[in-house]
Amino acid sequence: MPSPKTQPARGMRDFLPADVRKREYVISVIKQVYERYGFEPLETPAVENIETLMGKYGEEGNQLIFKILKRGEHEKTGAADLALRYDLTVPLARVVAQYQNELPKFFKRYQIQPVWRADRPARGRFREFYQCDVDVLGSQSMVVEAELIAAASDALVALGFKDFTIRLNHRQVLTGILDQAGVAPEKHGDALMALDKMDKVGPEGVARELRDRGIVDESAVRLMRFFEGLAGAQHALYLVDLVDAGTARAAYNADVLGRLVEFVGAHESGASGVDDLRQILQFSKASDVAARIKLDPTLARGLAYYTGAIIEINVADLAGSLGGGGRYDNLVGMFLGKDVAACGFSLGLERIIVVMSEREMFPPALVSSPADVMVTIWNEESVNESIALANELRSRGLRVELYPQADKIGNQIKYANARRIPYVAIVGEDERIKHEVAIRDMEREEQLRFSFEPTAKEKLFAWLNERKAGEAGGGIKPGA
Amino acid sequence: MPSPKTQPARGMRDFLPADVRKREYVISVIKQVYERYGFEPLETPAVENIETLMGKYGEEGNQLIFKILKRGEHEKTGAADLALRYDLTVPLARVVAQYQNELPKFFKRYQIQPVWRADRPARGRFREFYQCDVDVLGSQSMVVEAELIAAASDALVALGFKDFTIRLNHRQVLTGILDQAGVAPEKHGDALMALDKMDKVGPEGVARELRDRGIVDESAVRLMRFFEGLAGAQHALYLVDLVDAGTARAAYNADVLGRLVEFVGAHESGASGVDDLRQILQFSKASDVAARIKLDPTLARGLAYYTGAIIEINVADLAGSLGGGGRYDNLVGMFLGKDVAACGFSLGLERIIVVMSEREMFPPALVSSPADVMVTIWNEESVNESIALANELRSRGLRVELYPQADKIGNQIKYANARRIPYVAIVGEDERIKHEVAIRDMEREEQLRFSFEPTAKEKLFAWLNERKAGEAGGGIKPGA
């Protein structure tokens, strides 16, 4: 019986082989797409000095950071000097400050590593989870936003996603809207939290929350009028019956953009934000990502460090997002003393896997057997023949499990069957005398004999490799 | 200027892209070999319940475990409830106990993950480092030892190592030797620590240490006689001028085996250990690993949990080992309540990388550029053409960096040069009018023009892909 003391720590997970294969598959697809966009890999330590992390994620973030006790004689003081990585963005900002002279002017990096948060565990929410981050440092051009959106979108398409929406907004536009509605600057946070719930609680709910949070009525009315007006733009999406989805989405975005221009008006940074959004849409036209982008002025995103565009990717059957990101031009400055333009996007590995598992999107070859062939051991005297055969098969590129001990041949075949290994090689008494190998096809339940004479054995290797290629069926080979 | 606050935590390292590529290359080669042996991947959390780890690594180990503070209101108590993974073996034992009904009878897993130890950092010794473990659970057969040795050896050979030695010994044989020499059981640990230094301090040094550690003279003399006698077996190795290395090593091992039989004599578990060693040597004959194995009765290895064979791999130009392992038939029992036969081997990623870097063993293609082509942006008006070109090239399998903003073309080419990107695509005014793309070959400093008409552009893609294949020169493509 498994006892509590053999379970992983709360909110953490063990990944058995089939799980690891799924995770590695998703990671390898994402990496391949990111490399195609010219991004390079970066890795940082799991453990950071505690000062590096504290104060970067707001008060709630500080609470959720796992802190590591000092060691040796200091252990009993209960003081912490180190902490577990909480996201991949703050370590990136530290790295950019530390290695500024070694890094290129435009540092395009991806980073796929775990992070740890002492959140209350819930369905799909873990205390150790992977982020797949991609960031560009050093340019203020909206080409960066367009590339990040295209790369993340390409990664999801490569994984088989077809139906996601990329929501796009801008921090300065949000500020412009709130300023123009007359919301006092110190009430912006409250107003955003209320507006962020439009999808969940509807206009009446938001109106109520705006009042509860102390937004003056006149401002609330102006805000509500603007956001309810946006619903009108939705009509553009109904065009989808007449034109293609891309054209309908473009008409919708153009409509929203027009309403933003009108409402934000002469608000300087707001207007500049609207212009950024227009450019991002424009630069996205060159790829088929444009039809997936939806301007959404209600999108706020929690993190304090965003300064420009904000992005989130959603699918209908997942409450949270598959990923999100945005521009954060001031964060590196906290380490370097001078600001560096920066924009990034993060895909959530576990959420992607949750949706892919529920939708059965993994290639069938992934969940296949741990080996192409199992070599049996006939008896104590024939161990070396079996080892030699296994080694020869391996040297021909096959994945070979050697049954580890002499045993009844029936037990060995039963074992191969349970492990779903498609072929079993047997060198029994008769085969030894004749210099042959019997190959059992586990699915067809038939047995074939091959000569193992030096001049003839290539036929066996060729036959097995052919079968293997057939089994793989275009799926991705584990460990490839 | 990088300030102390931007450095990684003490003993931890950031890995910039070129470092990550090296690490990923080594990991992918090791994984491929392990998969060929039928091992399957396992991953466990970085964080374990503190009770899972405490007491498993001896008193010194307890000190070196990074402990995590309780959270929330318990934080101020200074108590720890979690700890960072210290090795991959104890988590494996926990996993085997927890999932015994889901795992196959013989669980063959590999696990390549970081571990953390609060050791004093030194050259090649870090506080975060990767272990590449491979273990077989469920069989007492020496086929397991032979397979683990062969797999680790194959992995090193696949990485380009030719000159390593696999030292082999056995805990029961050590016990047999000490018992037969009359060393009191409670003094075995002291005697082993002295004997382990034979290489470093020579026979006189060992003799002195045996006395200092309180081994009675008569026992010390018997021990020294046996170990000095082993030096005689070394003569077998001189045969290497007359016969091949494998034959010479086999003669040496046979000689040592004979001396062990003689000395250990009727000591029951000692004799059974000698028999294990004989079998391991026998089963290794079927692969070319045999010539690398050297019986070494002085090998002790620190970890308390070994119960049978112990193994260590060394190269001449590294003080420590490249890897080590052995049989530990009782560890799973600490979690499961009943023993499970187990044997494993761990390769040290950082040490392998240290030696490979010093010897320049990495394929040249690994340190190459971050992209195959860089696409320039001529001016603000042509951004979308550049994005479209970049996307088309990417869809043809090329890794493409898009310069992120309009800039002087000279600056863009200089940038590509600094980043060692071999080809630069330019769509200037003239090219735009003629529907062409200019490709600059950075090494030859020449420029070619290709038509970008829909009917003709395949020629451009084909040309670039051909060049790319030529550059790769058989090396492993980053991110592949």
d(CA B432, CA B447): 16
Confidence of residue A63 (pLDDT cuts 50, 70, 90): very high
Any B CB within 8 A of A243 CB: no
Query: Is the residue at A25 inside a domain?
Result: yes
d(CA B405, CA B422): 20
Residue B230 has a pLDDT of 85
SS3 content of chain A, % helix, strand, coil (to 5): 50, 20, 35
By DSSP bridging, strand B423-426 and strand B373-375 are parallel
CATH assignment of the domain containing A456: 3.40.50.800
Residue A237 has a pLDDT of 67
What's the domain range around B430? 370-472
Partners of A97 on chain B (C-beta within 8 Å) are: 2-3, 6
CB contact under 8 A, B42 and A52: no
Q: How far is A437 from chain B (nearest CA, A)?
A: 17
Q: In the beta sheet, which residues pair with residue B348?
A: B131
Query: Is the residue at B413 inside a domain?
Result: yes
Query: Is the residue at A1 inside a domain?
Result: no
**What digits encode the pLDDT tens for the residues A187-199?**
998 998 898 888 7
Query: Is the residue at B65 inside a domain?
Result: no
CB contact under 8 A, B104 and A48: no
Any A CB within 8 A of B437 CB: no
Residue A247 has a pLDDT of 85
Cα–Cα distance list, B401 to B294, B407, B412 (Å): 51, 15, 11
Query: Is the residue at B119 inside a domain?
Result: yes
C-alpha A466: how far from chain center:
35
Whether A350 contacts A126, CB under 8 Å:
yes
Whether A3 contacts B96, CB under 8 Å:
no
**Within the 87-106 window of chain B, which residues sit less than 8 Å (CB to CB) from chain A?**
91, 94-95, 97-100, 102-106
CB contact under 8 A, A400 and B36: yes
Residue A421 has a pLDDT of 94
CB contact under 8 A, A104 and B418: yes
CATH assignment of the domain containing A301: 3.30.930.10
> Is the same domain home to A173 and A199?
yes
Last residue of a domain, one of B260, B286, B307: B307
Last residue of a domain, one of A337, A358, A379: A358
Query: Is the residue at B285 inside a domain?
Result: yes
In this prediction the ipTM stands at: 0.91
Long-range Cβ contacts of A193-198 (<8 Å, 24+ apart): A193/A300, A195/A223, A195/A227, A195/A298, A195/A300, A196/A298, A196/A299, A196/A300, A198/A227, A198/A298
Is residue A473 pLDDT above 60, yes or no? no
Is residue A303 pLDDT above 80, yes or no? no
- DSSP reduced 3-state for A342: strand
Q: How far is B268 from chain A (nearest CA, A)?
A: 22
How crowded is residue B402: how many other Cβ atoms within 10 Å of its Cβ?
A: 29
Alpha helices in B396-457 (DSSP H): 409-418, 429-434
Is residue A468 pLDDT above 90, yes or no? no
How crowded is residue A418: how many other Cβ atoms within 10 Å of its Cβ?
A: 10
Tokens coding A75: 């252990």
> Helix A383-395 and helix B142-159: axis angle, to 10°?
20
Q: How far is B213 from chain A (nearest CA, A)?
A: 27
Partners of A387 on chain B (C-beta within 8 Å) are: 143, 146-147, 283, 286-287
Query: With pLDDT > 70 as the criterion, what percentage of chain A qualifies?
Result: 95
Whether B25 contacts A69, CB under 8 Å:
no
Is residue A148 pLDDT above 90, yes or no? yes
Any B CB within 8 A of A4 CB: no
**Tokens 């893609």 -> residue:** B461
> Is the same domain home to B301 and B426?
no
Any B CB within 8 A of A75 CB: yes
pLDDT, one tens digit for every residue, chain B (480 residues)? 445 589 999 999 999 999 999 999 999 999 999 999 999 999 999 999 999 999 888 788 899 999 999 998 888 888 999 999 999 999 999 999 999 999 999 999 999 999 999 999 887 789 999 999 999 999 999 999 999 999 999 999 999 999 999 999 999 999 999 999 999 999 998 999 898 888 788 889 999 999 999 999 999 999 999 998 887 777 766 666 667 778 888 889 999 999 999 999 899 999 999 999 999 999 999 888 989 999 999 998 876 789 999 999 999 988 889 999 999 998 899 899 999 999 999 999 999 999 999 999 999 877 678 899 999 999 999 999 999 999 999 999 999 999 999 999 999 999 999 999 999 999 999 998 999 999 999 999 999 999 988 888 899 999 999 988 876 654 334 433
Is residue A374 pLDDT above 50, yes or no? yes
Burial class (CB in 10 A: 0-12, 13-18, 19+), B238: exposed
Whether B417 contacts B442, CB under 8 Å:
yes
Nearest to B48 by CA among B80, B84, B21: B84
Residue A479 has a pLDDT of 39
Identity at A317, one-letter amino acid code: D
> Is the same domain home to A350 and A377?
no
Residue B447 has a pLDDT of 92
d(CA B424, CA B371): 10
Residue A7 has a pLDDT of 96
Is residue A185 pLDDT above 80, yes or no? yes
**Greater pLDDT, A265 or A39:** A39
Length of chain B: 480
> Is the same domain home to A377 and A311?
no
CB contact under 8 A, B68 and A84: yes
Whether A403 contacts A421, CB under 8 Å:
no
> Is the same domain home to B117 and B243?
no
Segment A340-356 mean pLDDT: 96
> Is the same domain home to A84 and A181?
yes
Residue B200 has a pLDDT of 84
pLDDT-wise least confident of A28-37, A272-281, B429-438? B429-438
Query: Is the residue at A2 inside a domain?
Result: no
Whether B128 contacts B84, CB under 8 Å:
no
Tokens coding B431: 């090219």
Nearest to A203 by CA among A183, A227, A187: A227
pLDDT-wise least confident of A4-8, A93-97, A130-134, B462-466? A4-8
d(CA A377, CA B137): 18
> Is the same domain home to A247 and A266?
yes
Nearest to B44 by CA among B108, B105, B112, B107: B112
d(CA A83, CA A95): 17
CB contact under 8 A, B49 and A9: yes
Any B CB within 8 A of A366 CB: no
Identity at B28, one-letter amino acid code: S
Residue B229 has a pLDDT of 86
> Is the same domain home to B248 and B383?
no
pLDDT-wise least confident of A198-212, A338-352, A403-417, B141-155? A198-212
Any A CB within 8 A of B121 CB: no
Last residue of a domain, one of A343, A358, A373: A358
Report the predicted TM-score, pTM, of the whole model to 2 decimal places: 0.92
Is residue A241 pLDDT above 70, yes or no? no
> Is the same domain home to B236 and B266?
yes
CB contact under 8 A, B286 and A108: no
> Is the same domain home to B303 and B226?
yes
Beta strands in A370-433 (DSSP E): 373-375, 400-402, 423-426
> Is the same domain home to A262 and A166?
yes
Residue B3 has a pLDDT of 54
Segment A45-65 mean pLDDT: 92
d(CA B91, CA B44): 7
In sequence order, the 6+-apart residues with CB closer than 8 A to the CB of B35 are A399, A478, A479, B110
Partners of B399 on chain A (C-beta within 8 Å) are: 35-38
Confidence of residue A242 (pLDDT cuts 50, 70, 90): low
Q: In what order do the strands lie in the sheet with A446-451?
A: A400-402, A373-375, A423-426, A436-441, A446-451
> Is the same domain home to A180 and A321?
yes
Count: domains in chain A = 2
Size of the A and B interface in Cβ pairs below 8 Å: 317
Cα–Cα distance list, A399 to A390, A479, B139 (Å): 9, 10, 20
CB contact under 8 A, B40 and A46: no
CB contact under 8 A, B37 and A400: yes
Query: Is the residue at A6 inside a domain?
Result: no
